[in-house]
């Protein structure tokens, strides 16, 4: 949708979708938080601190998901010179950066009682921090270059190159010795989490995805409107200069 629609079609379609996306996101997040805080039991080892999982794990998922979204949109923008794809990638970057900050903050809060430390420089934590720096670098590139086409091209290259960090984050617990446990959800023989924890976690994940979809639609619409305003302003400036030159 974000990639194949032209700006006018995107504005029309996104305007119709936004109320549904925001409503579903709000419902899932409220339901997920209720189940996580009031229905899911205490863990026999982690006690109440296990509830941090319902915020941390979806944030970790979205940190990589949003970056993958940016990379795909950047590839489309480079290959087909599609402005909406570039704007969607730009719109997603600050959202992904916020998810990365949330992931690292909740990871520290969860790690201190479990591991006895807020931070260690192991493979998973270090690669997750690199992911945040990639987001910041991408945003900085857009801000550093005034011309949108050149900014989109430079930022797209960074987004595509940075994809190499995603498998490092994913498989770091298998390739190196880390404090993190191996995957509990994405396993060939099925999740190893008890259903009383699994269902609230899955609902929270779905809520995060819909929340991201809502925000990226809003931010992309805002970017389209800002570009239209800049174009109108530049046109007015050119007309004013022509009038002065003839006067």
- Is the separation of the CB atoms in 90 and 224 below 8 Å? no
Please report which confidence band the pLDDT of residue 162 belongs to, taking 50, 70 and 90 as the band edges: very high
- The pTM is what? 0.90
Tens-place pLDDT, residues 82-141 = 899 999 999 999 999 999 999 999 999 998 888 888 888 888 999 999 999 999 999 999
The percentage of residues in the chain with a pLDDT greater than 90, rounded to a whole number, is 68
Mean pLDDT of 168-187: 73
The mean pLDDT of 168-182, rounded to a whole number, is 78
Rounded to whole angstroms, the Cα distance separating 235 from 189 reads 61
Q: What is the mean pLDDT of residues 18-25?
A: 98
**Which string of DSSP letters, residue by residue, matches 60-91?**
HHHHHHHHHHHHHHHHHHHHH--HHHHHHHHH
Q: Residue 13's pLDDT band (boundaries 50, 70, 90)?
A: very high
pLDDT at 188: 43
Which two tokens mark 59? 């944030």
5, pLDDT greater than 90: no
**Residue range 190-246, pLDDT digits in tens:** 566 889 999 999 999 999 999 999 999 999 999 999 988 877 767 776 766 666 666
Residue 1 clears pLDDT 80, i.e. is over it? no
């Amino acid at each position: 949708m974000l990639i194949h629609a032209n700006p006018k079609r995107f504005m029309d379609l996104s305007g119709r979708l936004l109320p549904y996306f925001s409503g579903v996101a709000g419902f899932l997040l409220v339901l997920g938080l209720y189940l996580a805080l009031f229905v899911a039991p205490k863990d026999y080892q982690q006690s109440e601190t296990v509830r941090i999982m319902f915020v941390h794990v979806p944030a970790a998922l979205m940190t990589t998901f949003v970056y993958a979204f940016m990379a795909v949109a950047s590839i489309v923008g480079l290959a087909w010179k599609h402005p909406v794809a570039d704007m969607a990638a730009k719109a997603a970057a600050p959202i992904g950066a916020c998810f990365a900050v949330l992931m690292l903050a909740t990871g520290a809060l969860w790690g201190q009682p479990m591991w006895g430390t807020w931070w260690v420089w192991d493979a998973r934590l270090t690669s997750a921090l690199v992911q945040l720096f990639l987001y910041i670098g991408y945003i900085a590139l857009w801000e550093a270059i005034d011309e949108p086409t050149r900014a989109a091209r430079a930022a797209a290259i960074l987004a595509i190159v940075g994809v190499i960090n995603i498998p490092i984050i994913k498989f770091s617990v298998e390739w190196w010795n880390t404090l993190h446990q191996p995957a509990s959800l994405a396993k060939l023989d099925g999740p190893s989490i008890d259903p009383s924890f699994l269902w609230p976690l899955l609902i929270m994940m779905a809520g995060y995805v819909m929340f991201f979809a809502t925000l990226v639609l809003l931010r992309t619409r805002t970017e389209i409107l800002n570009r239209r305003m800049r174009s109108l302003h530049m046109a007015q400036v050119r007309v004013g200069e022509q009038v002065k030159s003839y006067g």
